[in-house]
Structure 1
Amino acid sequence: MGFISLLKEALDELVRNPKLFLPKLVSVTLYIPPYLMLGRITVDIARNPAMATPAMFDQTTYIMIVLLALAPVWIFIDSMYPILVQQRIEKGRLDFKGAAQHVLGKFLKILAVSILISILLTAVNLPFIALISIGLVLKLLPLLAIGLLGALAVVFASAIFLYFVPTTLIIEKIGVVDAFKTGYALSRNNFGLVFWLTLASFVVLLLGFYVEGVFGKIGEIGFIVGRYLGGILTVYLYVINPTAYLEIRKSAPMEKPAERIKLAKKK
């Protein structure tokens, strides 16, 4: 299955099974109240910095703690999608309870991969973050541009080679280290396809941010609508990724994921 066929298949799947949107809509709903509270405080401080009180900053701290506490819930819900897509492809039905139980059994590993990816991206971007900071402080636009372009290039390249890592860990009976190895090998052996899938993901994410920004200008109601629309667009990406993984996996149906990935070649 080629790039365009995968995009179409994922879209058709969402049209056939709109229930796939439900987990992400739950996740979005959980985040809306703290984001609204944070937005109100931020606007109040921006309008009149002199009126900012210690209580406002305390509230901001509490909200950030709540958002941080919600992160594992967000990761848990998002991690259900590879299993849900696998259920539809292999069994023709959705089992949300089964998907949740599967993810729960692997959640510590999933959380570890999420943290490791965040640390990795931060580490490789440190030089460019430094350039951006210096460029902003000294008002050197060329330095700022180099930092921004470098950071974007690193994030894009990392997204390509890490594209299948979480999905590999979630679907396969595999450890964290092997998930990185097999996910990387799968992207390397199917570089052309994964490149376009990653590019499409960036485009959809940017579209989601744009939609959220446009509706956010309307007010709180617009912000809420924008968040839900952005979440809906994100679900499309969550369906494309495991659909591509399972399609490639069929080309080398072996017992061990590491061996299967090595044989998975670009069609």
Structure 2
Amino acid sequence: MRIGELEVRRLGFGAMRLTGFRPAADRTDAIRVARRAVELGVNFIDTADSYGVGANEELLAEALYPYADGLVIATKVGRTRPSPNEWTPLGRPEYLRQAAELSLRRLKVERIDLLQLHRIDPTVPFEDQLGAMAQLQAEGKVRHVGLSEVTVAQLEEARRVIDVVSVQNRYNLTDREHDAVLAHCSEQSIAFIPWLPVANGDHASSRTLADIATELDATPTQISLAWLLHRSPVVVPIPGTKSAEHLEENVAAARIQLTAEHLTHLAAVDGR
């Protein structure tokens, strides 16, 4: 799978859980999980400046710098997290620029592989937010630009201003609100990066998933990820975990082959 000209494997890793809202004083386990992801062949890691107020980016640099050839670190700007349950878009151009500069420093890179606008700030003209991203790209500080939680109309509006190589929307087996966005990304060869790809493990309660998992000697979580990989060749799920065991389980989902019959049954799953 290509994100721009960057070649990434179909299963990435979402790093948010490595730090949470406030990172633990002891980073040993989190660093071990980040390194294990790369050992398992993961070469696309997603973070954001708002994860742990920058601590997530710092942890990834501590764990993985100097980065292996071909390892793509994607981060996001344009959203703050004042409290564990509060997220606020912040898209003023001067803020986006400052946030990107800080991400460069924390990640110890001269250019960010993929910088995503974490959310569109409704209080700031969209073209101004896009302009800030385009300027960072023109200056060589950002290689590629992506968007998060957008509609088809917003994506196409953005593409009139800047080349958008990825979209990161919430999407999983039981939450298909963004089917139209996925279809559009598939048509336009834009990477679609579903966040919350296994619905925080809620799919484990599905009888359909349990039956298919038993048949294939897998887990319901693995079936959920395999379904996403079958949805479209542009899909790059980023399951996150703090557990090395769960990480290995997630990565192994890439080897699961679902039949047409399996996909028919899974299409009927509605989360109830």
Q: TM-score, structure 2 length as denominator? A: 0.22
- Greater helix share, 1 or 2? 1
Higher relative contact order (CA 8 A, sep 6+): 1
Query: Rg: which structure is higher?
Result: 1
Q: TM-score, structure 1 length as denominator? A: 0.23
